[in-house]
A and B are shown apart, each in its own frame.
Chain A
Amino acid sequence: MLIKSLAAVFLAAILTENYVLSKFLGICPFLGVSKKLNTAVGMSVAVTFVMVISTAVTFPIYTYLLVPHDLGYLQTIVFILIIAGLVQLVEVVLKRYIPSLYKSLGVYLPLITTNCAILGVTMLVLQKVDSTTLYNYTYIHAIVNSLGAGIGFLVAMVMFAGVRQKMENCDIPKSLKGLPITLVAASLTALSFLGFSGFVDKLIPLS
């Protein structure tokens, strides 16, 4: 049952609840860094990495520090603080011990410090912690969810990088060149992800 629900959470985070294409979080890197495939992959790997680590830290802090003291309303500011500090710490550690990974993540790591997709993943998962429903998220679920969200980000970025590379060689009307056509393409890509709605529930029924 646990594995089944974890698989459902993982797939849902990638397909039906894709943080970029259906929740519209992290649009800035989605539009900004998706011009080339290799930068898109680098950014996504960094995002996934930070998402998992920050969820791993913020989830217990919320449940064991903020909620017992009735400070749930502080989650936004506290999470930003923690994520920013964590990213800095990870950067320092990577620079010292794994310089190759530090180099490949490069500029993306500090860039995503206060990325809304990361804040969104850490905060939205808390809404699903509700022991009265079937879809109760535990700590493991939250981590798997953030991993799935990162992979979903990667999927969206890589797909969109492909779309943009195709657009480079298209004869686009002058008034639509640049950002307008990119936004149109982004919305169409997002629309295509609507096709996945209900997909995970059918694939892995939990009841």
Chain B
Amino acid sequence: MSDYILPVLISVAVVAGIGLIIGLVLSIASIVMAVPKDEKAEKILNILPGANCGACGFSGCSGYASALSKGEAKVGLCPVGGEKCAKDAALILGVDAGSVEKKVAFVQCRGNCDNTSNKAIYDGIQSCSAASKIGNGVSECIYGCLGFGDCVDACQYGAVSICNGVSVIDSQKCTACSACVKTCPRHIISLVPYKTSAAVTCSNKDKGANTRKVCKVGCIGCKKCEKLCEADAIKVDSFCAYVDMNKCVSCMKCIEGCPQGCITHFMAE
């Protein structure tokens, strides 16, 4: 009888012994080499939205939280969490929150199917990044929206949609995480202040005559808006107008005066 039981007992003892030793070593190691936890960082991580979008410039929410707790970063860099998040973080850190400027993404192109056309039939990979690499893209305008919706895929919040061949951003849903800004191969999406102002919906940097050939609503760089602007907020640079939204007083004279109709009233609600 004992001939059968002894090997069983020995094997059980060996495995249990090894397990015990390992457990002991591990528990000693975890006490001896315990890493002091950053409580502030953990608290801040809880109030951050957890989107891990990287819009703050750090590697995800945990990276931002640890940078905040070390005092290496400012509060209010998180566009997704917005003002409330900044206030909560400031409360934990005991610093002044300051004001957080709310931003939204904005597409500087209105070259939809009615206003511009394609120079070729494209049958390749259905993505902007692929299409933009072949012959400067399929659309006549080499600066404009390609309309394959890379920005739609990039948006975690469902704020971007393709409407008649041009991407449109729902400013209510947009959290300004800048995922679409980074994705767009044409670089025509930018973050702008969330306020009522005029905005140029064109990115074409060609001379006026060439722009007019490819798009009905392209900026021709006539500088009329520059002259009309009271607040010195609009500037034409390389044949494309640009509105400094912080200076704009929403007098809307540029919108009325633009011969191409490429300036719109942004955030009119």
The chain A residues found within 8 Å of chain B, CB to CB, are: 65-66, 69, 71, 73-74, 77-78, 81-82, 85, 88-89, 92-93, 95-97, 99, 169
Structural contact, A78 and B14, CB atoms closer than 8 A:
yes
Interface residues on B, range: 10 to 19
Q: Is B35 an interface residue (CB 8 A)?
A: yes
The contact of B18 among A69, A81, A93, A96, by CB within 8 Å, is: A81
Structural contact, B11 and A92, CB atoms closer than 8 A:
no
Structural contact, B29 and A93, CB atoms closer than 8 A:
yes
Tell me which residues from 1 to 53 in chain B have a Cβ below 8 Å from any Cβ of chain A: 10-11, 14-15, 18-19, 22-23, 25-26, 29-30, 33-35
Structural contact, A169 and B15, CB atoms closer than 8 A:
no
Question: A residues within 8 A CB of B23?
Answer: 85
Q: Is B125 an interface residue (CB 8 A)?
A: yes
Complex alpha-carbon distance, A96 and B23, angstroms:
19
Q: Is B130 an interface residue (CB 8 A)?
A: yes
Structural contact, B15 and A96, CB atoms closer than 8 A:
no
Specify the chain B residue showing the minimal Cβ separation from A65.
B14
The contact of A78 among B18, B34, B35, B130, by CB within 8 Å, is: B18
The contact of A96 among B19, B33, B130, by CB within 8 Å, is: B33
Question: A residues within 8 A CB of B25?
Answer: 85, 89
Structural contact, B35 and A95, CB atoms closer than 8 A:
yes
Structural contact, B33 and A92, CB atoms closer than 8 A:
yes
Question: A residues within 8 A CB of B15?
Answer: 74, 77-78, 81
Q: Inter-chain contact count A-B, CB under 8 Å?
A: 44
Question: B residues within 8 A CB of A66?
Answer: 14
Complex alpha-carbon distance, A73 and B18, angstroms:
15
Extra A-B contacts (20), CB below 8 Å, given A74-B15, A81-B15, A97-B33? A66-B14, A69-B14, A71-B11, A71-B14, A74-B11, A74-B14, A78-B15, A78-B18, A81-B18, A81-B19, A81-B22, A82-B18, A85-B23, A85-B25, A88-B26, A89-B29, A92-B33, A96-B34, A99-B35, A169-B130
The chain B residues found within 8 Å of chain A, CB to CB, are: 10-11, 14-15, 18-19, 22-23, 25-26, 29-30, 33-35, 125, 130
Cβ distance B100 to chain A, nearest Cβ, rounded Å: 29
Structural contact, A85 and B33, CB atoms closer than 8 A:
no
Structural contact, A71 and B26, CB atoms closer than 8 A:
no
29 residue pairs bridging A and B, Cβ less than 8 Å apart: A69-B10, A71-B10, A71-B11, A71-B14, A73-B11, A74-B11, A74-B14, A77-B15, A78-B14, A78-B15, A78-B18, A81-B19, A81-B22, A85-B22, A85-B23, A85-B25, A85-B26, A88-B26, A89-B26, A89-B29, A92-B26, A92-B30, A93-B29, A93-B33, A95-B33, A96-B33, A96-B34, A97-B33, A99-B35
Complex alpha-carbon distance, A71 and B16, angstroms:
14
Cβ distance B224 to chain A, nearest Cβ, rounded Å: 45
Specify the chain A residue showing the minimal Cβ separation from B11.
A74
Cβ distance A60 to chain B, nearest Cβ, rounded Å: 13
Cβ distance A108 to chain B, nearest Cβ, rounded Å: 16
Question: A residues within 8 A CB of B11?
Answer: 71, 73-74
Question: A residues within 8 A CB of B10?
Answer: 69, 71
Complex alpha-carbon distance, A99 and B246, angstroms:
43
Specify the chain A residue showing the minimal Cβ separation from B21.
A85
Question: B residues within 8 A CB of A92?
Answer: 26, 29-30, 33
